[in-house]
C-alpha cells in the first residue's frame, strides 16, 4: 500500500473551450490545520484557541475549505474561488497578470505542496494586487500554461505599428497622441529655458 498522497493532474475539459482546471493536493488539509495552529500558538491568548483548533474545528474547516477550492484557466482570464463562510471568487484578466511566482519551501515540500503567487496590475496607480493559491498539483506546469496563454493573448491583441494609418483619415486616438506629444515638447522647451530671476 502506497503512502503517497492522491495526486490529481491538470485537466482540460473539452466541453469548456479549453478551460484548464487545476486540481489540489489533499494534503493541503493537514497543512492548513497545522499552519493556522502555529500562527495561533504565537501568543498566550491564542494558545488555548490553537488547542481547540487542533481538536476538531481545524479539521472541519480545512475539509470544507479544500472542497470549495477551484481554479480555472481560460483563454482570456484566470478564475479562482476559495473560502467557506466568506467565499472569494476572483476573475483576473490574463493581461493584468504581471508575474506568476512558484514557491516551495521545506515545510511545503514535506506536505508535497507548493504555492503559486500572482501579481496583478490594477487599472490605476496603487491598485496592484497579490494573491496566492496553495496546493495546486503540477504547479510549475500550471504556471507555465498561465504564462503561455497570457503571451498568446498579447500576441492576438497586439496591433502592429504599420497598421496605424498616417493619411488624412487618422483616427481620434492617433490625433490625441500627437496633440499630447506636442504639449509635452512645449513643456520640455519651457523647462529647459533658464528663467531670469
Cβ-contact 27, 63 below 8 angstroms: no
Q: Residue 172: its pLDDT value, please?
A: 74
Rounded to an integer, the average pLDDT of 57-61 is 90
Residue 86 gets which letter from DSSP? S
Residue 6, class by beta-carbon neighbours within 10 Å (0-12 exposed, 13-18 middle, 19+ buried)? Answer: exposed
pLDDT tens digits, residue range 7-23? Answer: 444 444 444 568 889 99
Name the pLDDT band for 160 (thresholds 50, 70, 90): low
What pLDDT does 14 receive?
44
Tell me: the pLDDT tens digits for 165-187? 445 455 778 878 888 888 888 88
Residue 93 has pLDDT above 50, yes or no: yes
pTM of the model: 0.64
More confident residue, 12 or 81: 81
Residue 159 binned pLDDT confidence (cut-offs 50, 70, 90): low
Would you state the pLDDT for residue 155?
A: 84
What's the CA gap between 70 and 76, in Å, rounded?
17
Query: What is the 3-state composition of the chain as percent helix, strand, coil, each rounded to the nearest 5?
Result: 45, 20, 30
Q: What percent of the chain has pLDDT over 70?
A: 79
**Arithmetic mean of pLDDT, 22-51:** 89
Q: Decide if pLDDT at 197 tops 70.
A: no
Predicted pLDDT at 17: 65
Q: What percent of the chain has pLDDT over 90?
A: 19
Q: Give, as one character, the DSSP assignment of residue 179.
A: H
pLDDT at 62 over 70: yes
- Residue pair 33/54 in contact (Cβ under 8 Å)? The answer is yes
Q: Which fold has domain 11-157?
A: PH-domain like (2.30.29)
Q: What is the pLDDT, as a whole number, of residue 87?
A: 87
Looking at residue 127, its pLDDT comes to: 53
Amino acid at each position: 500500500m502506497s503512502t503517497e498522497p492522491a495526486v490529481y493532474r491538470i485537466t482540460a475539459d473539452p466541453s469548456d473551450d479549453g478551460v484548464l482546471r487545476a486540481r489540489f493536493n489533499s494534503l493541503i488539509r493537514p497543512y492548513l490545520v497545522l499552519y493556522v495552529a502555529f500562527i495561533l500558538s504565537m501568543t498566550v491568548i491564542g494558545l488555548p484557541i490553537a488547542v481547540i483548533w487542533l481538536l476538531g474545528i481545524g479539521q472541519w474547516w480545512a475539509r470544507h475549505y479544500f472542497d470549495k477550492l477551484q481554479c480555472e484557466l481560460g483563454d482570456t482570464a484566470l478564475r479562482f474561488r476559495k473560502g467557506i463562510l466568506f467565499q472569494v471568487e476572483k476573475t483576473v484578466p490574463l493581461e493584468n497578470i504581471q508575474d506568476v511566482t512558484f514557491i516551495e519551501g521545506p515545510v511545503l515540500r514535506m506536505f508535497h505542496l507548493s504555492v503559486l503567487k500572482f501579481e496583478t496590475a490594477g487599472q490605476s496607480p496603487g491598485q496592484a494586487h497579490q494573491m496566492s493559491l496553495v496546493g495546486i498539483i503540477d504547479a510549475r506546469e500550471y504556471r507555465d500554461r498561465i504564462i503561455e496563454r497570457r503571451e498568446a493573448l498579447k500576441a492576438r491583441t497586439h496591433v502592429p505599428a504599420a497598421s496605424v494609418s498616417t493619411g488624412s483619415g487618422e483616427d481620434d486616438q492617433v490625433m490625441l497622441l500627437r496633440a499630447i506629444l506636442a504639449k509635452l515638447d512645449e513643456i520640455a522647451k519651457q523647462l529647459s529655458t533658464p528663467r531670469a530671476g
